Amino acid sequence: MSRGTAYYDLPNGERIELPTTMPDVEEVPGPLCDGKFELPEAVKEKYNDMIARRYFCQLAYTNFGESDWAVTFTYDHDHQPAPGDFNQVDRDWTNFTRRLKRFCKKMGREASKWMQVAEYSVMDEDGKVTGRHHHHAILQGNLTWQEIKDLWRDSAGRPMGLVKVEPIDLTCSSFERLTTYMTKARARIRRWRQSQGLQKPKTPRPNDTRWSRKRFDEAFALQDDREYWEKKYPGYTLRECEQHITGNNTKHLIVKLKKKPDTRRKNRRNQP
Q: What residues contact 237, with CB distance under 8 A and at least 6 apart?
A: 230, 257, 258, 259, 260
Answer whether 252's CB lies under 8 Å from 13's CB. Answer: yes
User: What does the pLDDT read at residue 267?
Assistant: 54
Q: Give the pLDDT of residue 115.
A: 95
**pTM here?**
0.73
160: Cβ contacts below 8 Å, ≥ 6 apart: 73, 75, 76, 79, 92, 152, 153, 154
CB burial of residue 145 (10 Å; 0-12, 13-18, 19+)? middle
The predicted pLDDT at position 35 comes to 47
pLDDT tens digits along 99-119:
999 999 999 999 999 999 999
**pLDDT tens-place string over residues 25-50:** 444 444 444 445 566 777 777 778 88
Q: Which residue, 200, 207, 253, 205, is CA-closest to 55?
A: 200
Pairing mode, strands 114-119 and 134-139 = antiparallel
Backbone angles phi, psi at 165, to 5 degrees: -115, 125
Sheet order of strands, 163-167 included: 163-167, 69-74, 134-139, 114-119, 192-194
| Amino acid residing at 27 | E
Phi, psi of 188 (to 5 degrees): -120, 25
Residue 191 DSSP label: -
- pLDDT, residue 26, reads 42
Q: What residues of the chain score a pLDDT lower than 70? A: 1-39, 171-173, 186-187, 247, 263-272
Report the alpha-carbon distance of residue 97 to residue 118 in Å, rounded: 14
